[in-house]
Amino acid sequence: MSGRILVVGLGPGHDSHRTAAAEDALREARHLVGYGPYLARVTLRDGQTAHASDNREEFDRARHALQLAATGETVALVSSGDAGVFAMAATLFEALEAEGAPDVEIAVVPGVTAMIAAAARTGAPLGHDFCAISLSDNLKPWETVLGRVRAAAGADFVIALYNPISKARPWQLGKALEALRELRAPDTPVVFATAVSRPDEEILVLPLSDARPEMADMRTLVIVGSSQTRCIRRGNDRVWVYTPRKAPVPA
């Protein structure tokens, strides 16, 4: 009997940002496989079993999900945000390719990724062309990461920076900001969106010249504006950030 794997993104934080399709998939699954803190965000129902593991055990999680599904079980492979953005969907297909394809059905359920939630909190910084780059060099060389940051800055994309900093990677964001300051104007808007939609949410909007790595932690999504990104100040505290949809015509 073939089973199913439902690859589910839980959204960026609060349950209200979890899609209805994700909720349906979580209800359908008998086994939930994922990183421990993410599984803790899911209320188990009668008959469901959680299989928690450490943060750097992605491939083993994917393999475990495949093994469970191969026995006929319905499995939810859980990520935060959207499972297809720097998350478990790609790892699942990597495991599938490396270890053969058991007779299981796979469905990737769309979710809300962190940059969408962060952008919504601040206005519309992703209103024109943008890209997303993970600053983690766990799975690719730092030279590759920095080269992509420079290329995106040179092409004048708005840049969403995932995985900006952690205890094991304390210096990468600082290096990325240094590179960006070489290619972007000092007054370029930068958003530090931490723990979006959670009780300890914090949003900082400041110019690139004042951006510092200590303003971020593992829960932070950083958005660096393009040359067209603008700020609208309302009152003493509120700042809306947006990038116009119409780009200027080159001279």
Please report the pLDDT score of residue 251 as a whole number. Answer: 58
Question: Model pTM greater than 0.75?
Answer: yes
CA distance linking residue 180 with residue 172, whole number of Å: 12
| Residue from 55, 196, 195 nearest 136 by CA | 55
pLDDT band of 1, cuts 50, 70, 90: low
CATH of domain 4-112: 3.40.1010.10
CA distance linking residue 37 with residue 59, whole number of Å: 17
C-alpha count within 13 angstroms, C-beta hemisphere, residue 160: 22
Same fold, 4-112 and 115-242: no
pLDDT digits (tens, 9 = 90+) for 104-134: 999 999 999 999 999 999 999 999 999 999 9
Please report the beta strands in the chain, taking only residues with DSSP state E, as ranges in sequence order. 4-9, 31-35, 49-53, 74-79, 105-109, 123-124, 130-134, 158-162, 189-194, 202-207, 220-224, 230-234, 238-242
Average per-residue pLDDT in the chain? 94
Please report the pLDDT score of residue 247 as a whole number. Answer: 72
pLDDT band of 184, cuts 50, 70, 90: very high
- Bridge partners of 220, per DSSP, are 194
Domain boundaries, the chain: 4-112, 115-242
Please report the pLDDT score of residue 250 as a whole number. Answer: 64
Cα 152-157-161 angle, rounded to 5 deg: 70
pLDDT band of 56, cuts 50, 70, 90: confident
Residue 242: pLDDT above 70? yes
Q: Read off φ and ψ for residue 220, nearest 5 degrees.
A: -100, 140
CA distance linking residue 245 with residue 129, whole number of Å: 8
CA distance linking residue 31 with residue 44, whole number of Å: 10
CATH of domain 115-242: 3.30.950.10
